[in-house]
Structure 1
């Protein structure tokens, strides 16, 4: 975690809004103290320090989040992997990279990555990383979880509507003050900044994963900043994946996994989850979208205004 959260609430008065926003901030901080791997005192950091040494007892909340992440890892065949945190940072997406990493460097970089080497004991509520040097990290998945928890807390507090935006992972509920739906714009990844479609949200989370802001190109081929945990190589073939559904945590895991899986496997995967809809855009601008989004399948172009 560590990302920026924007909180918008529809409340009867400013005092109520400020009080509830403070409650959301406190909840986000509580979750961050539990699961952020960059906080030395967090339970996840304790798990990582004891990789290859011993199991670590964690709160049931952390255990359940890890359990769900491992389930997603298995369902995607490793396209999503919470042990990806151990991968060495050999890919640079800041403009400084001029040559491809060698196959040997890539293989070494993922040597400590592998969700199958994570052992959970439900009775003891422990997590054990079998290999020394392994790490787990929740990153944006944790941000989606925090957005979900904050939304649920606001609903329980009687706040009728709002948006929790966790660095792009959005959990929404209710309607705008004028009675209209919340609306999210979908960016044309071939022409960053151009919104080619607007989708109304009804009690929905929405998350977009994309390669159009961070990538490198070698020999005319684009390599995304989203890395395949199983191979150590960047995902190719898709420019962006947007997922809508009841949970920002799940939508985040799905969108990231789909970027790695590629078009055909991604479409097969998401159709297993009828509560979730999608907008998938290939590197060549072809759109594939759920009927519920109202977006027609077509090909996007640069400098296209619609």
Structure 2
């Protein structure tokens, strides 16, 4: 018997160099623990031939402008490498469909031809991402808006130049926005973009989709015990085998072991940082190594959004790379959200949207996603960290429960 458990992740960044530590942390922490019922295993061995022991294999590359890590348990290196070799072309295919950096990608060619008088046929992958984006926009009253592309370009330029976009630039970019102007056919196979200059940006939702699609390839190749990390987005398969079935460890769970991200909010002093949940040192920006809870997950997808790496600071004000469609501005409050969900496209989109909405409105949004576990950390103007996990998150990870912090 294998008991399902948990995994972790870290805030995303489009900067390759800033993700090097993230991948190293994943490689270091994405290790299995667990146990198998000895009696069941002995009976099974008497009835069937012994299977070759599974070994952990990894592969890593830069894709989508970020580090991508593949891990799988396979009987031999050849089997693992064969499966890995089928994942990379799939990721490249998705990049050629969803990238807003490549002017020849399917989505950028679609945007270049807008507005559309007639429906335009689109690929299944583009349809899936557009349908999920429009659904999330509707659920969040537009807090998530996939048509934010022109605004994103203005803020990318602002970060390079270290100067804020002008009000005129922001107003012009917002003129091209409006998720209601993405008109999908009833079957989702065709779309019309109704505004000229519309720019689709899947930066807040695509990496989770790519991670899960990569995991599906490994599973299809007969390797169900696999995990994929695309920047801060994880897609996790079955729990790894136990390294020691006779272990006396009190942690009677199994899964992919990862450090949960702890927000390093900046405060006047570490003493001002408090939490509404008993996670030790949560958000203590002045501590070099805040206590990071370890959890174990399997058969789920995980994503975290925050501004730890991507932001613009002007005149003492920190503007996040997460943009609020309602204002056209980067978020100025320090906030981080983590979502654990059955599908990567949901986890990736929801964590960003929770950061935009904040605690109360975010809780209403998550009523549309009862299968998701989530937590939001936010630094108040008074310098206190308010952390609000839902019950599923507390039950799944132990975070928010007194017993978690010994």
Q: Same fold (TM over 0.5)?
A: yes
Shift in alpha-carbon separation, 1:106–1:255, aligned structure 2, 3 A: same
Structure 1 position 227 matched with structure 2 position 323 = yes
Distance 1:27 1:167 in 2: 17
Distance 1:202 1:241 in 2: 20
1:17-28 alignment runs, 5 A limit: 17-28=80-91
Q: TM-score, normalised by structure 1?
A: 0.87
Distance 1:217 1:123 in 2: 44
Contiguous gaps of at least 5 residues in structure 2: 1-63, 244-253, 265-284
- SS of 1:187's equivalent? coil
Q: TM-score, normalised by structure 2?
A: 0.67
- Listed one character per residue, the Cα deviations across residues 169-202 of structure 1 (whole Å, up to 9, x for unaligned) are 1001122343631122123222376452222112
The alignment's C-alpha RMSD in Å is 2.6
| TM-fit CA distance, 1:281 | 0.7
| Equivalent of 2:208 in 141, 144, 154 | 144
1:154-165 alignment runs, 5 A limit: 154-165=218-229
Distance 2:258 2:85 in 1: 25
Contiguous gaps of at least 5 residues in structure 1: 299-304
Please name the residue that 1:45 is paired with: 108
Please name the residue that 2:71 is paired with: 8
Distance 2:132 2:194 in 1: 19
Structure 1 position 287 matched with structure 2 position 383 = no
Distance 2:323 2:218 in 1: 35
Distance 1:151 1:253 in 2: 18
| TM-fit CA distance, 1:73 | 1.0
Distance 2:290 2:242 in 1: 26
Shift in alpha-carbon separation, 1:53–1:274, aligned structure 2, 3 A: closer
Shift in alpha-carbon separation, 1:34–1:225, aligned structure 2, 3 A: closer
Q: Name the structure, 1 or 2, with higher relative contact order (CA <8 Å, separation 6+).
A: 2
1:209-220 alignment runs, 5 A limit: 209-217=305-313
Please name the residue that 2:184 is paired with: 120
Answer with 1 or 2: which has the greater Rg: 2
1:249-260 alignment runs, 5 A limit: 249-260=345-356
Runs of 4+ with >6 A deviation: none
| TM-fit CA distance, 1:213 | 2.2
- Stretch moving more, 251-260 or 43-52: 43-52
Length, aligned pairs only: 298
Shift in alpha-carbon separation, 1:195–1:246, aligned structure 2, 3 A: farther
- SS of 2:303's equivalent? strand
Distance 2:332 2:188 in 1: 41
- SS of 2:175's equivalent? coil
CA contact (8 A) 1:69 1:81 kept: yes
Shift in alpha-carbon separation, 1:177–1:124, aligned structure 2, 3 A: closer
Distance 1:134 1:237 in 2: 28
